[in-house]
Structure 1
Amino acid sequence: MCITKEMTYFLLEGKNHRRTINTRTEMASVDLQDVSTQLNNKISSIKRSMQLKNMCNDPSLTNILQKIGLELSSIRGILDIFQMQIQQQQTELRSLQELKNAVQRNSEKAHHLLENIPTHLPKKAAETSTVPAKDLKVQEVTAHPEPEKNSAKNKHFVREIEYLLMEEFNQVPGYMKGRMTYDQINAVIKEINATVKAKYKILNQPMKSMSNTTRNQYHAFKEQETKETKGQYFFVEADIKDFSHLKVDKKFHVILNILRHCHRLREVRGSHHVRYLLL
């Protein structure tokens, strides 16, 4: 049998047509299945709703639902309280963190101050004994009969140079202090105070208790005095050499110039000496 081109085309068209019909049938079945599933879900939902509606008509079930509703409201209230407490604790946590940072900063500052305590500050005072209240009257009675001793101590009071404050140091012109530091200046003040104290200890000492060397020093100190130094406390460069470890050099004179600028000293010249009066 001879198959022509027209017959071949007809057979191919038939196969393609059947394939198209099969594809459409499969798609239609898939769509129907989805629709069926959706309808079944809706029917199930309607059945549950009907069941719940029927439960509402049952008094015993209604009481149960009301209890459940009350419990849910209570749970919701507890959750709100928990949420408020969580927010409060978060706020407190932030405050504690800020406090911790502040304490840490203060601790670092205190540590820095501890490591950089100026050398001129006084040391820790000796511990004082506590006296019971019943013994205070006895002390008051025994304290009054000694005015002569107290007055004797006041006579031996020696003026000291006040230590320089940081504000004063910062106000000193740069050309005047150069590379001089705050601690260096106050260290010199400490040595000067010790020198003046040693000098006037000799001047206040009774002549009878003096050795020959001390008596010679006494007369030398008296020769340094003038009308301008009467009633004043002063020192000269020789006193610094005798009673301190300082070197009377250019650096020392720079510090003296700073002390004059800060109104701690005043110069009185004459009779081969430069006297530095304590203000």
Structure 2
Amino acid sequence: MEAAAAASPGSSSLEAVATAFRSRVNELQDLALARNMYPATAVTDLTTVDTSVTAMEAQVQAIRRRLQEELDAIPKAKKLVEKSLKQQQKLQHMLANMPPGMREDIVATPLEQSLMLPECFNFNTAVPEFLDSDFKIKEEPVAAPKKGKGSAPRWYISTEELDSLSSYMRGRLTLEKVNISINEVATYADANAHLVACPKKKLSEDTWEKALELRDIAATEAVKGKHFFLEADIKGPGLKLDHTGKAILTVLRHLGRVHETRIGHHRVFILSKQC
């Protein structure tokens, strides 16, 4: 009896394995019968399923690639948003501090008034390219502002900046007077940049000599690629070389709107870009 009891667990396990084996054999037989019932369509159905699965896998891969592209584009989009916000702040600063009624075309330099060259001095167009035939006199490359660089910067000061100055430096200067001067010196710089870029055939003999002189200045290391004007350009109406005008230039230097250097016998003022 004890031997039979000891053999009972082993026999029950063997019976369970045999039962599972028979069940699996029956399933395989049923599958074989089901497949043989429709032999003509079995292969076609399997091929269709395989094609569908392959197409789905390709779609999944395409979705993964697209998601990766979107993930890679997120840092670029963030940088673009940051630049847009900075540009918005600059424009808001300019709008908030621009004196009422002031426009870029109010102030015209004596050079612009004496030259009737609209295609050359149109500040809304790109700087024209140089022609080889226009540089037979000068062999050095000209370092005028590059094509598409835009007009000279107009970095107006704010009330807070003006109030931060010492009383002796500020004197009787007003925000409107200083910002009108900023607009005027930017117009001087625009006129010089376009004069440097104009071909010889569009300039008179006297103006061509001035253009050559400006090109020499524009080619120097301190001025290369920047907008500038000369002390000789300052002739009003908003900014003059009187006591008030000199005080305004001092304020602009102190606030970082212009940097001054001397090239030859010229006193050159270089305009700073807004940070």
TM-score range, shorter chain: 0.3 to 0.5
TM-score (norm 1): 0.44
Whichever of the two has the greater Rg, that structure is: 1
More helix by percentage:
1
